[in-house]
Structure 1
Amino acid sequence: MRVMVTMERPGFPCQKWQPLFQQKPPDSEAPSPEVTPSDQPSIPPPASPRSPNYKTIAALVAGELLLGLLAFPLGHVFKINPLATAKATSGFGPLAAVSALLTLPALLLHLTSGREIEDMLRESLEGIFGSDTAKKRPAVVIAISVLLSLSAGMGEEVAFRGALQPIFAQATGQPMWGLGISSLIFAALHAATPRYFLLALVLSVYLGCLQLRYCNLWVPILVHTLFDVVGFMQNHFWGHWGRKKGGESRAG
């Protein structure tokens, strides 16, 4: 509502409109309360797939086999046959039994490697095998574990114990230098963490010593394969059924 106020000046009347009631400017909006980091909703990490990632599994198997195949052109350059010591023998059963016994020290090393490595491996394997596969389809886990272990045992041992170790031994004139250099390369390719680098280094030295001792490539191949199979079983079944992630026992 407005009223007219008349203001007179000499010889010149004028009019000025003024509001009867002055309108107050709208109050400024109250500042929004500060949101502290603790008040913000936490974003959960991406969940692991619930079923096996078969594309990743196929890529891993192909990569391991390709590594073994690359040993042949490399061996050709240095005039070394990677399969020279892969002796065919009629006593494969006793050889497998001996290899199983020789796997025990490597497994002891794995089982005492610490929670850091165990948790890291479990998280990695859940992304490959799926988070529920071990509980719902244990036969699938066993089959995939054997497939991955065989491909790693064959491919990596042909490359490292069949090709690189004798190549470096020939270049330096010292078998132990060949063992040491090839083991350092093996560990560097497995160096997910410093502690896992040391684990892979000790394992590679052990496999190299088996190759030098028995002069039969099948021994490190079988030991490597069995080591990986049991490692998969330990991480899947003991990890899923034996205790909760984070180390709490399910039994209380």
Structure 2
Amino acid sequence: MSANRLRKITLAPALMFELSLALVGLAGIWLFSLQVPMSGLSYGEAVVLGVLAGLLTLVVLAGVARLPRFFQDSLRRHVQDLHGFARGFSLPALALLSLAAGIGEEVLFRGFLQTGLVELLGSLPGIIATALLFGLVHCLSLAYFIMATALGLLLGLAYAATDSLLLVIIWHAAYDLVALVLLARFPHWLGIEDTAATRL
């Protein structure tokens, strides 16, 4: 998606898109009569572990992304575009977007696709196939694809290990929220040029 198109996205369509992913996932779960594990952890455990995992994942990926060979010009350009997108929203809007992405993408990818592919292919192949699909839909460049696939693999393994859909929803939402706030407010921490001073 081009930088100009990305900057023109407003809150309502972005929220509707993310939440429509949850509806697609729920429809798939219902249509294929999948038994989706959801509550392997308590609410408190899922929240604490999800927030910590989201923060740790962001630190690791930000560190990897700063490696000169890995953080290629194409990835830097895409992250710069995301900076332009993120700085157009207030902090509450970024929080809503992050929560919607966590719910929508995890219900679709882990709840529906991973559950179905694990039943069809077996545990590890199903997790890997889901992670690759997750990477493909986030594919802005080869480096971004690799990072998104790695994140999808981590989320998939965590979901398989804990049977907690809430854990991966919170993990994903926490990661997105911190990443978007950093992109909007502190892009220099990620090695990105601040295109315009912004206050949330």
Relative to the length of structure 1, the TM-score reads 0.65
Work out whether 1:123 is the aligned partner of 2:98: no
Work out whether 1:66 is the aligned partner of 2:66: no
Structure 2 vs 1, CA of residues 142 and 77 (structure 1 numbering), >3 Å: closer, same or farther?
A: same
Per-residue CA deviation, residues 99-158 of structure 1 (Å, 9 max, x unaligned), is 22222431123312135435422323414643xxxxxxxxx6211111110010000000
> How far off is 1:92 after superposition?
2.5
Work out whether 1:145 is the aligned partner of 2:63: no
The 2-side partners of 1:238 and 1:214 are apart by: 33
> How far off is 1:58 after superposition?
1.6
What SS does the corresponding residue of 2:140 show, helix, strand or coil? coil
Partner of residue 102 from structure 1, selected from 26, 41, 53: 53
What SS does the corresponding residue of 2:37 show, helix, strand or coil? coil
The 2-side partners of 1:168 and 1:93 are apart by: 29
Amino acid at match of 1:106: T
What SS does the corresponding residue of 2:90 show, helix, strand or coil? helix
Q: Which runs of 5+ in 2 are unaligned?
A: 195-200
Partner of residue 208 from structure 1, selected from 146, 156, 163: 156
What SS does the corresponding residue of 1:191 show, helix, strand or coil? coil
- Tell me if structure 2 keeps the 8 A contact 1:110–1:231: no
Structure 2 vs 1, CA of residues 241 and 179 (structure 1 numbering), >3 Å: closer, same or farther?
A: closer
Structure 2 vs 1, CA of residues 118 and 96 (structure 1 numbering), >3 Å: closer, same or farther?
A: farther
> How far off is 1:203 after superposition?
0.2
Relative to the length of structure 2, the TM-score reads 0.80
How big is the alpha-carbon RMSD for the aligned residues of Structure 1 and Structure 2? 2.8
How many residues end up aligned between the 2 structures? 184
The 2-side partners of 1:92 and 1:244 are apart by: 36
The 1-side partners of 2:161 and 2:191 are apart by: 39
- Tell me if structure 2 keeps the 8 A contact 1:153–1:225: yes
> How far off is 1:184 after superposition?
0.8
The 1-side partners of 2:49 and 2:112 are apart by: 23
Per-residue CA deviation, residues 66-96 of structure 1 (Å, 9 max, x unaligned), is 1110112222332115xx333297x533431
Partner of residue 166 from structure 1, selected from 112, 115, 118: 115
> How far off is 1:59 after superposition?
1.4
Partner of 2:32: 78
- Tell me if structure 2 keeps the 8 A contact 1:61–1:151: yes
- Tell me if structure 1 keeps the 8 A contact 2:86–2:184: no
Structure 2 vs 1, CA of residues 208 and 237 (structure 1 numbering), >3 Å: closer, same or farther?
A: same
- Tell me if structure 1 keeps the 8 A contact 2:21–2:105: yes
* Structure holding more helix per residue: 2
Percent identity between matched residues is: 24
Partner of 1:217: 165
Structure 2 vs 1, CA of residues 171 and 48 (structure 1 numbering), >3 Å: closer, same or farther?
A: closer
Structure 2 vs 1, CA of residues 241 and 109 (structure 1 numbering), >3 Å: closer, same or farther?
A: closer
The 2-side partners of 1:165 and 1:129 are apart by: 33
Partner of 1:193: 141
Amino acid at match of 2:38: A
